[in-house]
Amino acid sequence: MSIIPLIVGGHELEEVSSVFASAVEPDFEVVYSSTSPEAALPCMVGVLNGETPPGPPGLGRHGKLRSAGAARAIVLTAGYDDAFVAALRKQLGGKPVPILKIDAAASAPGPDATPTPEETRALADRALKVLKKLEAEGKLDGADDGLYAY
């Protein structure tokens, strides 16, 4: 399996987003990560359209663009709600991209708490299972626009 590029709507603390991004390697690579839903919407759409997102370039390995237009899925962590998903779909204008959204009922420590590195790795493992299933089913090839819980 070749490395599959992802966009991640991560936690407000870049350290948590970095743990998540490292945990999905080596099969997947986070090419862009945002640390807030407010900043994520225009940036995610822009990255999928091959644009460089606004902001300082020195945000670290997972806080900047690494490969424009290459992402084959979007993974959303806690803090990205159904309204965000609807707004993202609207902004994408029909461009198909699978979106993985955290299953809040199955997640600890809760939507407003900062997860430990162990909890973050557990969330990444859940996302990995779904991503690998989607890859096996051919749903990361640019035609699927499903919403999947992890």
Percent of the residues in the chain that have a pLDDT greater than 90, as a whole number: 35
Tell whether the model's pLDDT for residue 82 goes beyond 70: yes
Q: What is the mean pLDDT of residues 50-75?
A: 60
Can you tell me whether residue 62 is helix, strand or coil? Answer: coil
State residue 29's pLDDT score: 86
Tell whether the model's pLDDT for residue 59 goes beyond 90: no
Supply the pTM of this predicted model: 0.85
Q: Is 83 exposed, middle or buried (0-12, 13-18, 19+ CB in 10 A)?
A: exposed
Residue 47 CB neighbours (<10 A): 25
Can you tell me whether residue 30 is helix, strand or coil? Answer: strand
Q: What is the mean pLDDT of residues 1-23?
A: 81
Task: Tell which wins on pLDDT, 108 or 45.
Answer: 45
Q: What is the mean pLDDT of residues 119-133?
A: 93
Can you tell me whether residue 90 is helix, strand or coil? Answer: helix
**Angle CA 109–33–111, to nearest 5:** 20
Can you tell me whether residue 39 is helix, strand or coil? Answer: helix
Dihedral sign (CA 113, 116, 120, 125): negative
How far apart CA 79 and CA 9 sit, in angstroms, is 9
State residue 61's pLDDT score: 40
How far apart CA 6 and CA 30 sit, in angstroms, is 5
